[in-house]
């Protein structure tokens, strides 16, 4: 079982991933204030789902280089590991929002898109995407 995060400074998309059957399901996104989630809500999610691994999307530029958003996502991933002690990996999330919009049929900002992007991140890892250390 994994819990995937599509990190954002205003909201964080969430999805669970089942490594036995290779599928992922969206959860309600978490609000984020100044890039910080409600850590108590994160703890409650971890207690509820009991994941073995946490996956955080790494927003890379199309040429594979890192951006300021990459640094924020890496910091979030390190904080997850530091607070909860679970293994945390990052997954290249290029085009995940685009795919999430296609899957949901939404064009603009929408909570469904954030969590569907987390589904894309989880499915990438479950289907063999190379994990990236935070």
Mean pLDDT over 70-88 rounds to 97
Percent of the chain with pLDDT over 70: 96
Biggest CA–CA distance in the chain, Å, is 38
User: How buried is 77 (Cβ within 10 angstroms: 0-12 exposed, 13-18 middle, 19+ buried)?
Assistant: buried
Contact yes or no for 115/29 (Cβ under 8 A): yes
- Which pLDDT score is estimated for 109? 65
- Which pLDDT score is estimated for 108? 66
| Architecture, CATH, for domain 2-126 | 2-Layer Sandwich (3.30)
Domain residue limits, the chain: 2-126
The pLDDT-based confidence of 111 (bands split at 50, 70, 90) is low
Q: Is the pLDDT of residue 23 over 90?
A: yes
User: How buried is 54 (Cβ within 10 angstroms: 0-12 exposed, 13-18 middle, 19+ buried)?
Assistant: buried
CA distances from 72 to 7, 57, 68, 83, 120 (A): 8, 11, 7, 16, 20
- Which pLDDT score is estimated for 39? 97
């Amino acid at each position: 079982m994994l819990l995937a995060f599509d990190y954002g400074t205003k909201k964080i998309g969430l999805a669970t991933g089942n490594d036995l059957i290779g599928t992922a399901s969206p959860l309600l996104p978490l609000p984020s204030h100044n890039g910080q989630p409600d850590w108590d809500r994160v703890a409650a999610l971890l207690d509820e789902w009991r994941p073995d691994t946490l996956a955080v999307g790494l927003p890379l530029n199309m040429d594979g280089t890192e951006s300021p958003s990459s640094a924020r996502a890496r910091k979030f991933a390190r904080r997850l590991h530091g607070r909860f002690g679970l293994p945390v990996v990052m997954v290249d999330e290029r085009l995940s929002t685009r795919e999430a919009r296609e899957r949901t049929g939404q064009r603009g900002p929408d909570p469904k898109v954030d969590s569907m992007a987390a589904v894309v991140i989880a499915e990438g890892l479950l289907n063999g995407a190379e994990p990236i250390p935070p």
